[in-house]
Amino acid sequence: MVDYGIEYWGKDDFIIEDGQVKVNYKSKPALINIVKQVREEGYRGPLLVRFPHLMKKQVEKIFTSFENSIKEYHYKGKFKAVFPIKVNHYPNFILPLMENTTHRCYGLEAGSKSELIIAMAYTNDNAPITVNGFKDKEMISLGFIAAKMGHDITLTIEGLNELETIIEVAKTLGKPYPKIGLRIRLHSTGIGIWAKSGGINSKFGLTASELVEAISLLRKNDLLNKFTMIHFHIGSQISDISPLKKALREAGNIYAELRKMGAKNLNNVNIGGGLAVEYAQHENQQNRNYTLAEFSGDVVFTLKEIAKNKKEPEPNIFIESGRYVSASHAVLIAPVLELFSQDYDEKSLHLKDKNPPLVEELVDLYNTINERYAIEYLHDSLEHMESLLTLFDLGYIDLQDRSNTEVLVHLIIKKVIKTLKHKNHSDIIRIQEQVQERYLLNCSFFQSLPDYWGLEQKFPVIPLDRLNRRPTRSASLWDITCDSDGEVAFDKNAPLFLHDIDINQEEYFVGFFLVGAYQEVLGMRHNLFTHPTEFSVVFDEEEGGYKIENLLESQTILDVLEDLDYDTKEIERSLKQRLEDSKEISEDAKKEVLGQLYIMLSENGYLRTVFKNGGEKS
């Protein structure tokens, strides 16, 4: 697996060339060079790199695919889309997304008051806003204000009480009214780990009898002409297209029936989100069984059939894809701080004049490893280690013997791997689980990959360079939180190999891809590690070169504490006072320590380590 499955997850967004991961756009810069450029400015710790051209690319793909399907089936409805803000609500995502899609009918979806404010401020002119989720009177009034500003806004009703509030607000605020949508409760459900948004027991939507009731309420209050959309959302990351088709048939028929009941302005079917992203890094582990073209074709075809059978006009199609639009735009880059076994070198071996016989055997194995018997020797040494550890527990060997055992076994593992490097890789694969290397990464999985922790969602991982060298170490990844869940464990069904490097001499960076959807917004400050330093790589469309923009440094320790509502002035005062009261150090030293403290408080909390030769790293 030297290409790390880039053809599956990278599509043609990223490529491997000259042993480096490169952005497959314009001047095709290597990620490692972008990283080095930013680090030269003194930024340390993990980096989140955004690529606005990939936001645009995904939106274009969706529009092109639906436009092609519409043409193919001579479909009469139009295609429109919105981005659900909850998937990535950061300004460095939302603003470039809107700037890059002005030529499309592409707006925003809001699910809370704060999101609605973002949508009202940043949705492009003539692009739609849809509002889902539970709403109170204030939020509904906000929707009316948006309509008065000239926004094309649809409030999607999740329950009859919301409709009653709309009727009430309409009386006080008057025209223009926002458009009204109804979220329908389907009996079809999605599948996969996120499939909780559909089905008869789902949290959202109106049942058939509530829909009938809603129509009569709308008619009675002279609002039926504002009812223009039905909406459903069967859950995120739809892996199989058949539940979607089933949901579409159900929704299409509801659309036609509601029109027959007199909802003559109902002309939009909003199919929600759920378009899946391919995260797989290995053959035969793909996350979805359909292409975008198949998806759009099925949607258009199904709605066309229903409209024809029921003799109703073909509705406009709305989509609210979040994951598919945003996942690929962001890459998390983590510097490797340490290889767990790196300290096990020959210098740490302190053999005695007389060693326990099994230790002597380990020495012998180490000195005589050859290609032919390498695996056998490795197994022998692992067995010897087990025996020696038991001897230690029983009190027969001392700590020095135990240390020599650990060092020797690590040396043997490394030598075996080196010996087999040019041979059949499957030999190494056979022993991979027993001899993993642990790579300590300067990042927090809780902050930057929360779905890995919460849902075991895998993200593609790849080192940024050395890709023309075969990686030999089966790897598990550790983050710097003090939590044993902060680990991406080695998985023999989806093995990860990394390079054997001397981290005291060389830098090594690992990239996690497709982290632009949900990860940033769900990330948590476990151990008070905050969001990484982030920036956008913006390409010059004519010249092809790129610029670093929107650089936002990771929060300082003081800022993090202030966000938690600590009184940071008091913290500073208290630290100073305690230092002044201390009798342990001289007055001069106190000043120096205080200076150091202040510098630390103004830096971010990620680790700053140095090369053994003194140069700064990580």
The binding site for ligand PLP (CB under 6 A) comprises 84, 86-87, 132, 233, 236-237, 272-275, 320-324
DSSP 267-319: -EEE--S--------STT--S-S--HHHHHHHHHHHHHHHHHHHT-PPPEEEE
Q: Can you say whether residue 514 is alpha, beta or left, with left for phi > 0 and alpha for psi between -120 and 50 degrees? A: left
| C-beta closer to ligand PLP: residue 237 or 442 | 237
| C-beta closer to ligand PLP: residue 181 or 471 | 181
Residue 182 DSSP code: E
* Sole residue written with tokens 């290397």: 437
What span, in angstroms and rounded, lies between the C-alpha atoms of 363 and 449?
42
Whether the CB-CB separation of 186 and 205 falls below 8 Å is answered with yes
| C-beta closer to ligand PLP: residue 51 or 232 | 232
CB atoms near residue 88 (< 10 Å): 26
| C-beta closer to ligand PLP: residue 87 or 515 | 87
CB of 254 to ligand PLP, least distance (A): 17
- As a residue count, the chain comes to 618
Longest dimension (CA), the chain: 99
Three-class SS of 37-68 = HHHHCCCCCCEEEECHHHHHHHHHHHHHHHHH
CB of 247 to ligand PLP, least distance (A): 13
- DSSP H or E stretch at residue 385: helix 374-393
| C-beta closer to ligand PLP: residue 272 or 532 | 272
Angle formed at CA 544 by CA 542 and CA 548, multiple of 5 degrees: 115
What span, in angstroms and rounded, lies between the C-alpha atoms of 156 and 561?
39
What span, in angstroms and rounded, lies between the C-alpha atoms of 466 and 423?
19
Q: How distant is the alpha carbon of residue 545 from its chain centre?
A: 27
CB of 82 to ligand PLP, least distance (A): 8
| C-beta closer to ligand PLP: residue 118 or 551 | 118
CB of 528 to ligand PLP, least distance (A): 28
By C-alpha distance, which of 536, 550, 517 is closest to 449? 517
Helix axes 374-393, 399-420, angle to 10 degrees: 170
| C-beta closer to ligand PLP: residue 183 or 304 | 183
Which tokens hold the place of 325? 């639009």
What span, in angstroms and rounded, lies between the C-alpha atoms of 10 and 289?
17
For residue 65, which amino acid is it?
S
Is 48 exposed, middle or buried (CB count within 10 Å of its CB: 0-12, 13-18, 19+)? buried
| C-beta closer to ligand PLP: residue 46 or 84 | 84
CB of 250 to ligand PLP, least distance (A): 17
Nearest residue to ligand PLP, by Cβ distance, number only: 273
| C-beta closer to ligand PLP: residue 152 or 479 | 152
CB of 613 to ligand PLP, least distance (A): 47
CB of 565 to ligand PLP, least distance (A): 30
* Sole residue written with tokens 């948004």: 197
Q: What phi, psi does 475 have (nearest 5°)? A: -120, 140
CB of 566 to ligand PLP, least distance (A): 33
| C-beta closer to ligand PLP: residue 292 or 558 | 292
DSSP 183-228: EB--S----STTTTS-STT-SS-B-HHHHHHHHHHHHHTT-GGGEE
Q: What is the CA radius of gyration of the chain?
A: 30
CB of 132 to ligand PLP, least distance (A): 4
CB of 194 to ligand PLP, least distance (A): 7
> How does strand 227-231 pair with strand 179-183?
parallel
CB of 520 to ligand PLP, least distance (A): 13
| C-beta closer to ligand PLP: residue 273 or 315 | 273
* Sole residue written with tokens 């936001």: 55
Whether the CB-CB separation of 35 and 333 falls below 8 Å is answered with yes
| C-beta closer to ligand PLP: residue 63 or 324 | 324
For residue 18, the cross-strand partners are none
CB of 537 to ligand PLP, least distance (A): 23
Three-class SS of 229-271 = EEECCCCCCCCCCHHHHHHHHHHHHHHHHHHHCCCCCCCEEEC
| C-beta closer to ligand PLP: residue 327 or 558 | 327
| C-beta closer to ligand PLP: residue 323 or 473 | 323
CB of 275 to ligand PLP, least distance (A): 6
| C-beta closer to ligand PLP: residue 178 or 274 | 274
CB of 112 to ligand PLP, least distance (A): 11
CB of 517 to ligand PLP, least distance (A): 6
